Structure formats: C-alpha cells, structure tokens
Amino acid sequence: MYDDSHPAGLTTGSHDNAYGVGAAHEKRGLAVELLIAALLQLGVRISLVIVVTGTLLTFARHWDYTFSQASLPPLLETGAVFPRTLAAVVAGIMTLDGPAIVVAGLIVLIATPLIVVATCLLAFIYHRDKVFMAISTVVLVILLFSYTRR
Amino acid sequence: MFLLYGVWTVSILWGCMTPLVFTITTFVISVVAGMLGSLLGLGGGMILVPILWLLPPHVPLKFASGASIVCVIATSGGAGAAYVRRRMANLRIALFLAMATTAGALTGGYLSGRMPERQLGLIFAAMLGYSAFAMLRKKHELDGEEIPDRLADSLRLHGRYYDTASGRWKESRAGRSWLGKAVSWTVGGIARRMARDAEAAPALTEEEEDGEWVLYRVARSPLGLGLMYVAGVVSGLLGIGSGALRVPAMDVAMKLPTKVSSATSNFLIGITAAATAGVYFMRGQINPFVAAPVAAGVLLGAMIGSRLLGRIPSRHLRKLFVIVLLVLAIQMLWKCTNMASHWHELTHWLQWLWGHQGGRHV
C-alpha cells in the first residue's frame, strides 16, 4: 500500500493541489536519501585520502621538490606535464606515480555526483516515476557527455 | 600585528618558492578560504581563483579554475550529505533544475576554452563585484501570496522541511578506537551509519519537541530553469559554483524558503561542478600540483568553518569578506584591462572630470 503523499522525499513529492501532510509510508524514500548522503560523504572522503596519499608520495619520490626553486615553474606552466587522460592515470598508478594517484583521487571526486544521479535514476525506476526517470536520465547523459573530448 | 607577521612570513616564503613551499602555502590559503566560505555560505573557489592567479607564482587561470571546480565538488559533497540526510535539500527540485544547469555548465565550459584569459578575468571581476553587492543586500522576505505553477504541480516539486528552533540536529557518534574511526571515516560502516541516521532523522508522523514541519510551494519553475542555465554557464566559464547566482533564482523566482534553497543549491552546485570538471579534465586543466592542496585545504577549512558556525558573529566577517571580494575584483580588473599602461590617460581624465565638476559647483 504505497501512498505517494509524502512531500519531502526524493521519489515521492506532494499532491497536485494539497500540501499532502500525513504520510506514513516514507520509509523507502528515506532510505534512498540516506544512501545518497552516504555516497556523497564516501566519495569525498575516499578521494581526499587518495589525494593526500598521492601528494605525500609525490614529495617522497622527488626530494628535489622540497628545496629546488627551479622545479616549480615547470609544474605550473601552461604546458605542464601531468596525466591528462584516464589511460595515463591508470599507467601512472601502476608505477606508483604520485601525480597520477592525485588525479585518480580527483576523478573519484568528479565521479561522485555522477554516481549520486545514477542512484536517483535507479530509485525512480524502482518507483516507476516516468517523468523523473526521464529527467535524471537527461542529467546523467549531459554529465557523461562532458567527458567527450572536444 | 598578525597582519604584519603574515606579510613577513609570506614574503620570506615567496623568496624561496619550491614545490613544497607552494603546496603548503596554497594549502594554508585554501584552509582560510574554505573556512570563510563555509561561514558565509559562499564557496571558497570564488576568492581562491583570483588569489592563485594574481599572486606569485601566478598559476595560469585555467589551472586555478580547474583546482577551484574540484574543491567546489568537495565542499558541496561534504555539506550536501548532511543537508540530504536532514531532508533539507529538495532532491526533486535539484534534479529538475540540474537539467538546465548542467547544460549551462557544458556551454560555459566549451566557451571558456575558446576565450582568452583576459576576457575570462573580466567576467570574473564582474562576478566578484556582483557577489560583493549580493552580500551587502538585505535578505529577501517571502510574501505570502501563492503563485500557481502548473509545471511544479505536475512534477510534484513542492515539499516541506523540518525547522528546528535551535538549528541543531542530534547526531549520534559511536566511540571507537583510533584505527576503527579512521577506517569508518573513509569506507567502513555505511549500512551501520545509515541505520544510525535513520534513527536520528526526524519522525515524519510524530510531532517533535523543538521544531515543526514547514510546508512550501514552488513558483515560476520555468523562470528558475532559465536562471539556472545562466548560473551553469557562469560556473562552466569560471570554474566556480556560482552560488551567488543561484540564490536569487531559488529564493526570489521560485519562492523557496531560505533554508531549503541553500541546501538544494548546495546539492545542485555539486552536480553542475561535476559537468564543468568533466570538461576541464578532458581539456587537461586539472593540474594535480594545484588541485591537491586546494581540494584538501578547502575541505579542511569547510569542516573547521562548520564547527565554528554560530560561535563567530558573521556580521563583521561579512563586511571583511565584502572588502576582500571588492579588492580582488579591482585587482582582476586592473590586470585584465591593462590599466597600468593607461594610468597616465586615466589620471588626466579624472583630473578633467574633477575640474569640470568643481567648476560647476563654483
């Protein structure tokens, strides 16, 4: 007996003209929101740990970075060398390259909202909410489209 | 005194800018920016990009904005989790508006790769000036009349949130060993945590003691969609969250309560920033040497800021922040319009203007 009158939930929403108070069946909507919150937090924290590890590794492997002033400008100039593609990142991780690990952590961070939107899509599919299925699919496609090379 | 000490330290550090010193200074600046940002509800990226670009060693604008967009996702995710858990953020509205704002971010990201640094800097200066103006402006009061919005009705965007008088939320923390805490902080115990949160979340059907459910309706959702597209374009152009542009769209146009709009826009900023970051990453703008200290620093700063929230009077802080924004805007303008080379003409013109006015008064 699923009654979609709980207004604040992700997969529910309110009635057309009433505010729709008095819902007792919001358990599922609640669970989805807690899952999304957990995913957000998880993504941010995992990426933070990876980024810090990569930074420490970078300095551990390049002792000259701690005292050589000449080594800074090449890292910051427009044509600086660092892994710029997924393939380069994977190759860098294999050789325990610090910057590649940092970029991997940043990719985890960038992918977190993507995973959250995908979770929303799954929740809408589960609740057969066709309009919001379409909306979250559009958002997901736009997000994936941002990874195409231009 | 502190200022003098700071200037002294910084000048010594700049004298020997090695990669390590750069990482540490960037980290420290990012912590301060993240703290200010979370205390005032504005992302840290807004002040970080100009600082990184203007101060030596002059990080190129494209790397500065690449680092900024990454830290926008981090802060949005960190704060967003709590807002989503407390059901302050309306995820249906967020997803609905995300269609427009991610499309805008793609447009902006596409444009930013084809614009020279100077033009981007000018737009950035305008955005800084606007944010300073928006911070000074009074808060909008919601008027009672309802505007019928059939789109919002059919999408069931209306909602409610739990308003506590104290603004606090009970959240349980289990005591564990240091290692257990470290593991659970990163990956462990999602299911356990969710169960704990489910207990701590407000019971929807029962009345709580210190709070009440506040109902709200959405108005003018098509206009909100349009404004969100603009916010997305700005975010894609400059690599910021452009929260300052989202507040008018959600507060004024869509008539959402302030708490709901700030929580929802926080969530929305994360999704927009992901679209922008995708474009930036594919273009090679995300430089790990800049992005790592910025992301870690801003996140730490935001955590400290959220602890300090309520303990520091935000009025003076707000004034300070307005001044910082204005100074950065002028600095950006100065660098981008190449005013230094026209300084002579400018003084001439100002003198003429001064004399003209003086003459009229006499």
Which residues of chain A does B74 touch, with a Cβ-Cβ cutoff of 8 Å?
A: 44, 47-48, 109
Q: What is the mean pLDDT of chain B?
A: 76
The residue that leads in pLDDT, B180 or A128, is: A128
C-alpha distances in angstroms, B176 versus A86, B173, B181, B182, B183?
37, 9, 6, 9, 10
**Residue B194 contacts residue A31 (beta carbons within 8 Å):** yes
Which of left, alpha, beta for B312 (phi over 0: left; psi -120 to 50: alpha)?
beta
Q: Model's pTM, two decimal places?
A: 0.79
Between A134-138, B15-19, B172-176, the lowest mean confidence (pLDDT) is in B172-176
Give the max Cα distance, chain B: 79
Is residue A64's pLDDT more than 50? Answer: yes
> Which residue blocks in A68-150 are alpha helix, DSSP H?
73-76, 86-94, 98-126, 130-145
Residue A26's pLDDT is what?
Answer: 46
Can you give the pLDDT at residue B173?
Answer: 43
Chain B residue closest in CA terms to A14: B156
CA Rg value for chain B: 22
Q: How far is it, in rounded angstroms, from Cα B293 to Cα B246?
A: 27
Task: Examine the pLDDT at A23 and tell me if it is beyond 50.
Answer: no
What's the rounded Cα separation, in Å, for the pair B237 and A109? 20
Residue B102: list chain A partners with CB under 8 A. 139, 142-143, 146
* Spatial distance between the Cα atoms of B331 and B328, rounded to a whole number of angstroms: 5
What pLDDT, on a 0 to 100 scale, did the predictor assign at position B182? 61
Q: Is the pLDDT of residue A138 over 90?
A: yes
The confidence score (pLDDT) of residue B12 equals 62
pLDDT of B361 over the 70 cut = no
Mutate to test the interface with B, among A146, A149, A150 (most CBs of B within 10 A): A146
Tell me the Cα Rg of chain A: 22
Question: Is the pLDDT confidence value at B206 over 60?
Answer: no
Residue by residue, DSSP assigns B45-75 as HHHHHHHHHHSTT---HHHHHHHHHHHHHHH
CA distances from A45 to A22, A84, A123, B242, B295 (A): 37, 23, 24, 24, 11
**How many Cβ atoms from other residues are within 10 Å of residue A142's Cβ?**
24
Per-residue pLDDT at B163 exceeds 80:
no
Q: Which of A44-48, B49-53, B167-171, B259-263 has the lowest mean pLDDT?
A: B167-171
Residues A68-90 pLDDT 10s: 666 777 777 777 778 878 888 88
Q: How far is B299 from chain A (nearest CA, A)?
A: 9
Q: Show me where the domains of chain A are located.
A: 27-145
B134 band by pLDDT with thresholds 50, 70 and 90:
confident
Say whether residue B212 is in contact with chain A using an 8 A CB cutoff. Answer: no
Q: What is the pLDDT of residue B331?
A: 81
Is B1's pLDDT higher than 70? no
B252 contacts B140 by C-beta, under 8 angstroms: yes
> Quick check: A38 and B186 in contact, CB under 8 A?
no
Distance CA A26, CA B328 (A): 48
Helix (H, G, I), strand (E, B) or coil at B216: strand
Q: What's the one-letter identity of residue A88?
A: A
Q: What is the pLDDT of residue B221?
A: 80
First to last CA, chain A: 49
- Is residue A55 scored above 70 in pLDDT? yes
Which residues of chain B lie closer than 8 angstroms to A43, CB-CB?
77
- pLDDT higher than threshold 80 for residue B33: yes
* Tokens, residue A109: 């961070």
User: Which tokens sit at B224?
Assistant: 């909100």
Question: Is residue A141's pLDDT more than 70?
Answer: yes
Quick check: helix, strand or coil at residue B115?
Answer: coil
Average pLDDT over residues B46-60: 82
CB contact under 8 A, A113 and B288: no
Cβ contacts of A71 on chain B, cutoff 8 Å: 18-19
- ipTM entry: 0.82
**What single-letter amino acid sits at B28?**
V
Q: What pLDDT, on the 0 to 100 scale, is given for residue B202?
A: 52
Residue B158: the pLDDT is 77
Kindly indicate the confidence band of residue B273, based on its pLDDT and cuts at 50, 70 and 90: very high
Give the contacts of B290 (CB within 8 A, at least 6 positions apart): A76, B26, B52, B59, B63, B64, B66, B67
Query: To the nearest whole angstrom, how far is the Cα of A57 from the nearest Cα of chain B?
Result: 12
Residue to substitute from A17, A48, A77, A121, interface B, most B β-carbons within 10 A = A48
Q: Kindly tell me if the per-residue pLDDT of B274 is higher than 80.
A: yes
- Name which of B90-99, B124-133, B276-285 the model is least confident about: B124-133
Give residue-wise pLDDT tens across range B286-298.
888 889 999 999 8
What pLDDT, in 10s, does the model give residues B288-339? 888 999 999 988 888 888 777 666 666 777 777 788 888 888 888 887 776 6
Please indicate if any CB of chain A lies within 8 Å of the CB of B274. Answer: yes
Q: Check residue A5 and give its pLDDT.
A: 42
Please determine, for residue B253, whether its predicted confidence score (pLDDT) is greater than 90: no
Backbone angles phi, psi at B212, to 5 degrees: -155, 160
* Contact state of B278 with A80 under an 8 Å Cβ cutoff: no
pLDDT of residue B187: 60
Is residue B297 a contact partner of residue B31, using CB atoms and an 8 Å limit? yes
**Chain B nearest C-alpha distance from A2 (Å):** 16
Say what the pLDDT of residue B179 is: 56
B163, β-bridge pairs? B212
CA-based nearest residue in chain A for residue B78? A41
Least confident piece of the model among A13-22, B116-125, B175-184: A13-22
Distance CA B42, CA B40 (A): 6
